[in-house]
Amino acid sequence: MDAHTSLRNAVKLGGSLLVTYGISLVLQMLVPRILGPTSFGQYNWANGFSGAFFVLSAMGLDVYIRKEVALRPDHASEFFGGTLLLQVGLALGLMGGMLWVMRSSGEPPEVQALALLLGVYQFFFRLNAILAAVLHAREKVDGLSVAHVLMKCIWGGGLVLVLLLGAPLPWMAAPFIGAEIVKAVFLFRLTRQHAGLRMRLDVRSTVTALLAALPFFINEAALATNGRVDVSILGMVANKTEVGYYGAVWGIAGMTMLLSPILSWVLLPMMSRAAASSPEEFTRILRRGLEGIVSVSIPVTLALALGAETWVQLMIGKAYLPAAPVLRLLAPIFVLTYVATVCGSWLMAANRPWTVTRTSIMAAVLSPVLNLVLIPLCLKRLGPAGGASATAISLATCEVIVTIVLVAAIGQRAWDARALSVLGKTLGVCAAVTAVHLVLGRLGLDSRDLVRGLARLVVDGLVYVSLILLTGAVRKDEVLALVHKVRNRRKPQDSTEPPSAEARAA
């Protein structure tokens, strides 16, 4: 029943994310085209810079809540008031620190103003992540799905208006702030109504929760270094145009991360309950989760890598074509990120959070070092987008190391014969499709031509689907059984009696 509820919640959240990702996709195509590489680079740098600072304001509480409140429903009220007060004070200090760093480095006034306003957005974004975590832990996600869609509509509509009016760069932050404030009000109401969250100031409980959340906090701060600080370094060592190239193709690649929030929201609470009740189920969730992630993410990553030039032209325009190699470098990262997310959730549920934290710290130290070494070298040797390529290489290297360490920490429990078979067959199919793609290029289907590039990707897709079914990497009987089950669930009840509560829930 718990797995069924978690799956149903994942479907609800996934449905809302499809809508919000649709809005994001349109804006990922629109914003870089309108702003151009340099202005988009300034915007992207300010966003990454503020995000790197404000990751500290989350204090690791969202992960801690998903793990502990799933088992102790009333626990969140014991520390929420104290941590919220601390977050407000910390936010003011962080904005002061941001201003000092930007003035010291000579950033233009409009970039400084944009970064500070995006800091306000980051505060509410982190607060909303904590409130959402309470609802995830209590498996009350219906209203949360509505909140995601509402917030994204406000943000998307506001951003389009700002772009159409040609407003100054700092106004880019206004839709973000407005959407998150509306979402915060909505989530406060939902958490009080469905999760019983109350505003209490309990110093002892607050300190206890912060200490227990410390490994999650350090892990999140380290991840920010590996995901946000690299953009700041790129902007300072290279230039904002390189940040524009990197940010634009990262926006395309990031669309493949649709499942990442669902994994974080649903998997950790489900694994925590399984760890407390059934070791066998705990391991089974891990193995099937990894198998499913590999099956879904690898073909998407392959399409992204093989069609990099086509996707860049189609989504953000020819002005960003120099960044196509960067997209190709970023593509494999997302398979690794998915695997690391599943393994990290399992280790946290198994009360081994410091294993995940130490791994993230290692990557956090390595990432800036690699960026500082590789960016100057690649700028000289690779020309336009060379600095962005260096940042992508640094991120990919860190992600490979993190994934290897986390999988090794779990050991043989991570994979069984079935999962290894699926992985081997899938990689073999990818190699065959890559060979077909290269042959098509020699036959005249050049990816630099948009129409020919799309035709080439269609052929690649048909070959992939045919081989994946032929080899049994995805079993045809399982796919047909799933389709049959969905069809049966859509049929009306034959009985004249009203459906049961269980049927309505399903």
Domain range spanning residue 482? 420-487
Residue 304: which residues within 8 A CB-CB, separation 6 or more?
A: 252, 253, 256, 311, 327, 328, 331
Q: What is the DSSP string of 303-350?
A: HHHHTHHHHHHHHT-GGGGGGHHHHHHHTTHHHHHHHHHHHHHHHHHT
Q: Is residue 503 part of a domain?
A: no
Q: For the beta carbon of residue 165, count every other beta carbon within 10 angstroms.
A: 9
Alpha-carbon gap, residue 320 to 323, rounded angstroms:
6
Q: Where do we find the tokens 């020819």?
A: 318
Give me the pLDDT at residue 263, please. 62
393 with 430, same domain?
A: no
181 with 256, same domain?
A: yes
Q: For the beta carbon of residue 351, count every other beta carbon within 10 angstroms.
A: 11
144 with 219, same domain?
A: yes
Domain end (from 365, 388, 415): 415
Q: Is residue 14 part of a domain?
A: yes
Q: Is residue 122 part of a domain?
A: yes
Encode the chain (506 residues) as per-residue pLDDT tens digits. Answer: 444 444 454 444 445 555 666 676 677 778 887 888 888 888 888 888 888 788 777 677 777 777 776 677 677 777 888 888 888 898 999 999 999 999 988 888 999 999 999 999 999 988 888 888 777 766 665 666 677 777 778 888 888 898 888 888 899 999 999 989 988 888 888 888 777 777 878 788 888 888 888 877 777 777 666 656 788 788 888 788 888 888 888 878 777 666 665 566 566 667 777 777 777 777 887 887 787 777 778 888 888 888 888 888 888 888 888 888 999 898 888 888 888 888 887 887 788 878 888 888 888 888 889 989 999 998 888 878 888 889 889 988 988 998 899 888 888 877 777 878 888 888 888 899 999 988 888 877 776 778 888 888 889 889 988 888 888 766 655 545 544 544 454 444 443 333 333 333 33
Q: Is residue 495 part of a domain?
A: no
Alpha-carbon gap, residue 57 to 88, rounded angstroms:
8
262 with 369, same domain?
A: yes
Structure tokens, 471: 């080899």
358 with 445, same domain?
A: no
59 with 165, same domain?
A: yes
Alpha-carbon gap, residue 227 to 395, rounded angstroms:
8
Q: Where do we find the tokens 């198994």?
A: 350
Give me the pLDDT at residue 171, please. 92
Residue 467: which residues within 8 A CB-CB, separation 6 or more?
A: 429, 432, 433
395 with 442, same domain?
A: no
450 with 306, same domain?
A: no
Q: Confirm if 460 and 431 have CB atoms less than 8 A apart.
A: no
Q: Is residue 496 part of a domain?
A: no
Alpha-carbon gap, residue 300 to 450, rounded angstroms:
19
Q: Is residue 501 part of a domain?
A: no
253 with 402, same domain?
A: yes
Q: Where do we find the tokens 């020919």?
A: 452
332 with 233, same domain?
A: yes
Domain end (from 373, 399, 415): 415
Domain count, the chain: 2
pTM over 0.75: no
Q: Confirm if 282 and 274 have CB atoms less than 8 A apart.
A: yes
Q: Is residue 358 part of a domain?
A: yes
Own/partner pairs for 103-109, CB < 8 Å, 24+ apart? Answer: 105/236, 108/42
210 with 268, same domain?
A: yes
Q: Is residue 88 part of a domain?
A: yes
Q: Could you tell me how far CA 83 lies from the centroid of its own chain?
A: 25
Structure tokens, 161: 């208006």
Q: Where do we find the tokens 């109504």?
A: 193
409 with 426, same domain?
A: no
Structure tokens, 457: 């990707």
Q: Could you tell me how far CA 429 lies from the centroid of its own chain?
A: 26
Give me the pLDDT at residue 432, please. 92
Domain end (from 415, 438, 466): 415
